[in-house]
């Protein structure tokens, strides 16, 4: 006899298994990057990244965070740390000092609640939910402090053609441009069949990153060279290729 409680437990185990594999590291083989060359930063910049955390930069990071967010497993939203700073600052700075000296933190610090948010009104399948992770306040503060340090040097190591995870750039830019290029190739003979053709006088080449031959290509095609940001079907598209701030 299967009770309602047993059905609930079986459902819970199924949900856990569905997300456990993609969110876990099975170990084994990983691609090696030892032969790849990356841009570097100056020794002075590297030294600043490894300086002891100051109370001012920790407080700045807390102030920049959105306090009105759902709390994680610790039960404290960011608003608590913001409003109670005078009472908890010594404990927070002590945590940062311990992290600086040991280079690690207790495993429970980045424990998360995985919450399933419905994508639509009626949900019939697990794929109808979007998983979000609710992390603890101290982990958010630590991540923000580290991000504030990194963004001072990230322009030295991030490629100008990088689109994702960089403020001022859109992750879909490259996909949209690639999609348009493929579509143009597939529909290359459509003009001869339909009697329609592209008005090159109104067309632009939008180079992504530094394209030295953009003017040559435009001359060959009989169109103009545009620049990002631009618009596509009335929607904003892209940002200046030198925009690398995060």
How confident is the chain (246 residues) per 10-residue block, as mean pLDDT?
66 80 77 80 90 94 89 86 93 93 84 83 82 86 93 79 67 78 71 61 76 81 80 70 51
Alpha-carbon torsion, ordered 165, 167, 173, 175, to 10 deg = 10
Q: What is the pLDDT of residue 166?
A: 65
Note the pLDDT of residue 69. 83
| Predicted TM-score of the model (pTM) | 0.60
At 194 the pLDDT is 55
Domain ranges within the chain, ordered by starting residue? 40-157, 173-237
Q: pLDDT at position 91, please? A: 92
d(CA 24, CA 93) in angstroms, rounded, equals 31
Taking the C-alpha atoms of residue 158 and residue 173, their distance in angstroms, rounded to an integer, is 17
The residue among 227, 245, 246, 239 whose CA lies nearest residue 169 is 239
Could you give phi then psi for residue 131, rounded to 5 degrees? -80, 135
CB 241 within 8 A of CB 208: yes
Would you state the pLDDT for residue 243?
Answer: 54
Per-residue pLDDT of 180-219, as tens digits, reads 888 777 766 655 555 566 777 777 877 777 777 888 888 8
């Amino acid at each position: 006899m299967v009770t309602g409680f047993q059905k609930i437990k079986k459902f819970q185990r199924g949900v856990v298994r569905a997300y456990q594999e993609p969110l876990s590291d099975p170990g084994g083989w990983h691609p090696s990057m030892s032969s790849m060359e990356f841009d570097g930063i100056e020794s002075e910049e590297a030294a600043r990244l490894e300086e002891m955390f100051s109370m001012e930069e920790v407080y700045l990071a807390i102030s920049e965070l959105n306090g009105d967010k759902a709390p994680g497993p610790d039960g404290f939203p960011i608003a608590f740390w913001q409003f109670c700073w005078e009472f908890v600052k010594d404990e927070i700075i002590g945590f940062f000092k311990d992290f600086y000296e040991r280079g690690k933190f207790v495993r429970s610090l980045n424990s998360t609640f995985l919450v399933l948010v419905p994508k639509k009104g009626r949900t019939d399948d697990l794929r109808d939910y979007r998983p979000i992770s609710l992390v603890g306040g101290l982990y958010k503060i630590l991540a923000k402090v580290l991000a504030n340090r990194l963004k001072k040097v990230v322009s030295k190591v991030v490629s100008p053609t990088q689109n994702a995870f960089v403020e001022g750039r859109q992750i879909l830019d490259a996909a949209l441009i690639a999609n348009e290029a493929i579509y143009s190739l597939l529909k290359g003979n459509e003009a001869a069949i339909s009697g329609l053709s592209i008005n090159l006088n109104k067309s632009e080449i939008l180079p992504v990153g530094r394209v030295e031959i953009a003017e040559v290509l435009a001359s060959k095609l009989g169109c103009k060279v545009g620049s990002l940001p631009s618009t596509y079907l009335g929607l904003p598209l892209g940002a200046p290729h030198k925009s690398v701030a995060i």
